[in-house]
A and B are shown apart, each in its own frame.
Chain A
Amino acid sequence: MKHMNLTRRSFMQITTSAAGGLMVGIHFPSIARATGEGAAAEINAWLTIDPDNIVSIVTPQTEMGQGAFTAVPMMVAEELDIPWENVRHVYASANRHVNNGNLYTTTSTGGSTTVSRRHPYMMQAGASARERLRVAAANRWQVPVDKVTAKQGWLTTEHEEQGTIQGTYGEFAAEAAAVTLDEEPAIKAYGDWWLLGRDIPRLDVPLKTNGTATYPIDVSVPGMVHAAAMACPVPEGRLVSYDFDAVKDMPGVIAAVELEQVKDVPAFTDLRSGVAIVADSWYQAQNALAVMPIVWDYGRGASISTESQMAEAMQLISQPGALVLNEDGNVGRRLDRGVNHDAAHGIIEASANQVIGEVYYRPFETHATMMPPCAVADVTDDRVDVWTFTQDIARSLNEVADQLGRDTENVFLNQTYLGGGFGGGYNMDVHRQAAAISAAVGRPVKVIRSREEDVAQDSQRPPVWGTYKAALGEDGLPEALVTHFVGDEKFPAFSQRGVANMPYLVPSRRHEYSAVQNHIPIGYHRAPGANSTGFIVEQMVDELAQAGGWDPLEWRIKMTEGNEPWQRVLLAMKEKSGWTTDMGRGEGMGIGVVESHGTVAGCVATVAISRRGQIFIDKLDFYINSGYVINPLGAREQAESSAIWELSHAMFGGLVIRDGRIVNTNFDSYQMMKMPDTPPEIEVHLEMSEDQWWGGLGEPTGPPTPPAVANAIYYATGKRIRSTPLAKAEL
């Protein structure tokens, strides 16, 4: 990290990206907010210290199970040097953030970035507070600041006359808050850590074993009423009319509120055309909504189905697609052996050793967070309070202000725990619904989406189709490779990531892309691109290896020569996993390795196939190179979690579209992995490179898992499964 100069009330700029491009400004706000007797003193916007030496550390990111509420305080506490038992975590104020020039830089919580990308300024906040405490003690004790140590919550000096003098951080907090530093300290390097790198149980665990953790659905405001809302079941469609008279006398029903869509085609976070019923209880509102006659104009999507998109994709994939290039004019960022994309088709056509791939397919998947989207809004004349399902409290605050035409200063987005996020908390209009309904009825309101409405209206992960053709050289390795992937028109990146920039170096390489028509909303998901493309690329690799007479693991090692992060993972797999392609009839091992979110994750899957063709996954063995790991316990939890998340889709998932609408909208028809389906053995190896860096850990084990399983099924049965759900394959 760059050394920096900083004074209080100034902006500081930190170089955060390895590429040196992104500059992040942080504003340390005016301080000394509360310095009275017995009050906690705010040293900077990130932390307050009370007289008992309890430190409250602010977390701008949301907690959805991934551990932000532990990781952020850990990073600040590492630098502050305070015993972990003295640390409390507190929610950041979205209002303060938004109205003070994005005080916490960002409140966005996604892309596995909270630690990997945010650590420089979070650690800086702790270091800055620690140095101010030292200066405050030096001033009071009349000693040079370099004679004062700050360690484990104590400030200490060896005084020439008085001997050892000590005081707690809490005793000096108010004075520290008023200190101006000439220069900010640099943050600690790996190796100097006392807290980071240890297994720290997440702070929110106990609240989640007795039902006291509060989610938006648990919030209650005096005078609150309940609403059930419905948008057009065919996305992009519009409400024409509804007959409230037919339901207004049903028990508890108070009102119907039309939800007005402003734009012809709403952005993903705009309010969509629909209608809500308000009642004394949600049960009553939902019952009335379910029977109220509603007329919709379904729009252009009504003719789209899973079959129509499949037919369109198969047509597109049989023709050349558009060439995908990165900023350097290459396919991907690692093709430094030369790209030669114009020649790839010709080399393959002229080759005597062609490999022509079949078409692979991943269908739509949905978030289905365990808490269905929910928001509470209390809209009054001079103040708006909102609690909602969001992965970015500032973004949601701005959306509510926009919905109501209010000044952001009077809008308060109150943070709660989230019942899962997985990207679903970005493209969400449930708080706009709550705000609009509360404004309309003049009372606080809670909106809960039924599961069916959640799945019907969610921003989905789009389908991806992919195929390839290659020419093999005399050594059996590809000398030319053309991949062609088809995705949806809204989010091309989700069918390019992980394939356009794959790490396997082929001398002549071309990636092509086509898009099907799609009206279904698309949004961020847990590793949305890499999960779909990884399934295809990592089976393609096994097919290419086999065609060239290579062991699939040796092929990957050879094809990533010189790529240290990959070599570390692949060589660890070779050394520790007991890898073999020959386990005997009905059993198989398979591998998948995918780089995403700055982390290389490999999976070795061991499966057994019953005589009836049922798949049993006996073991998943992970090799993960994310560089630094600040909390190995949290890393293992996330590795298990993202693997099971994606395996659930690959084994059982897949949304079905008929007449433009999603038809499998609840867990009876959109199935999930459950306890009996869970592999009995999951091992996680954290393989850290010598040349360390900061990779993310909330997502990367998902992408390699399904292809590892599918490859294992191939070695067990000789059958290659090119689409999901795997559990429906004929074996």
Chain B
Amino acid sequence: MSITLNINGQDHSIDVDPQMPLLWAIRETVGLTGTKFGCGIAQCGNCTVIVDGNAVRSCNTPVAAAAGKTIRTIEGVSENNDHPVQQAWQEITVPQCGYCQSGQIMSAVALLEKSPDPTDNEIDKAMAGNICRCGTYPRIRAAIHRAAELSKT
């Protein structure tokens, strides 16, 4: 079945099983590999993308449910790796292995679009679905506050 996905402002017509998780459509069919597979059951957040402004776990979202919506992936966050969240992530040297960081960044971008200067409680809530096995949580928290600051200037 042909499905049109709008990813990072570009339409992609793909012919896939409508029940296929959006994650695999993005990674294997469209070929954007920045979004990662971690658990397949929406428990780790590695696969987080932004659909119509909300952070969504793409590993258990059927591709059909994303048709006609605006999908943003890590590749669409900025042209030059300089979105305030990316700048803050670099300044505070957040990533270690880096595998979960696309998902972490997408969750943080979605949070900051809704709440430009989030409290620690809001950060806890928005980021609670993203696991980082390297334990970069303290730096993620600091970087979200820093990104909020960078966005103001």
Q: Which residues of A contact B (CB under 8 A)?
A: 64-67, 201-202, 204-215, 217-218, 220, 226, 251, 281-284, 368-372, 417-422, 448, 450-451, 633, 637, 640-645, 648, 666-668, 672-676, 678-680, 682
Contacts and interface: CB of A to CB of B under 8 A. Distances in A.
A201 to B, nearest CB: 5
B17 A251 contact: yes
Contact of A209 (B21, B41, B95): B95
Contacts of B3: none
Contact of A641 (B20, B75, B135): B135
Given A217-B36, A372-B37, A451-B39, 17 more contacts: A201-B93, A204-B95, A205-B90, A205-B94, A215-B99, A220-B33, A226-B28, A283-B20, A368-B133, A420-B133, A421-B97, A451-B38, A641-B96, A645-B135, A648-B135, A666-B39, A668-B43
A177 to B, nearest CB: 35
A371 to B, nearest CB: 5
Contacts of A675: 123-124, 127-128, 130, 137, 140-141
A351 B51 CA distance: 70
Contacts of A667: 39, 41, 43-44, 131
B24 A281 contact: yes
A281 B27 CA distance: 10
A678 B24 contact: no
A153 to B, nearest CB: 25
A217 B21 CA distance: 17
Nearest to A452: B40
B115 interface: no
A213 B105 CA distance: 14
B98 interface: yes
A8 to B, nearest CB: 38
A641 to B, nearest CB: 5
Interface of B is mostly: loop
B100 interface: yes
A370 B38 contact: yes
B105 A218 contact: no
Contacts of A282: 24, 28
B109 to A, nearest CB: 11
A466 to B, nearest CB: 26
B24 A420 contact: no
Contact of B124 (A65, A372, A642, A676): A676
Contact of B86 (A210, A215, A371, A451): A210
B89 A209 contact: yes
Contact of B97 (A65, A284, A450, A678): A65
- Among A206, A207, A218, A370, the most chain B Cβ lie within 10 Å of the Cβ of A370
Contact of B33 (A211, A283, A448): A211
A100 B136 CA distance: 39
A631 to B, nearest CB: 11
B58 interface: no
Interface string B117-146: 000100111011111111111111100000
A208 B98 contact: yes
Nearest to B120: A680
Contacts of B95: 65, 204-205, 208-209
Contact of A204 (B24, B89, B98, B127): B98
- Give 3 closest A-B pairs by Cβ, nearest first: A211-B34, A644-B135, A419-B99
Given A281-B24, A645-B133, A673-B135, A209 B101 contact: yes
A666 B41 contact: yes
A417 B98 contact: yes
A370 B102 contact: no
A675 B135 CA distance: 9
B78 A370 contact: no
Contacts of A368: 133
23 contacts: A201-B90, A201-B93, A202-B93, A208-B98, A209-B81, A210-B34, A210-B86, A211-B74, A211-B102, A217-B33, A283-B20, A370-B36, A370-B38, A371-B99, A451-B39, A640-B139, A641-B135, A644-B137, A666-B39, A667-B131, A678-B138, A678-B141, A679-B138
Contacts of B132: 370
B99 A420 contact: yes
Nearest to A63: B97
A208 B96 CA distance: 8
- Among B28, B46, B90, B100, the most chain A Cβ lie within 10 Å of the Cβ of B28
Contacts of B123: 675
A218 B24 contact: no
B93 A210 contact: no
A672 B94 CA distance: 19
Contact of B96 (A637, A674, A680): A637
B138 A370 contact: no
Nearest to B124: A676
B134 A645 contact: yes
Nearest to B97: A65
Contact of A370 (B28, B73, B100, B140): B100
A226 B84 CA distance: 37
Contact of A66 (B34, B43, B96, B105): B96
Contacts of A682: 138
B64 interface: no
A183 to B, nearest CB: 40
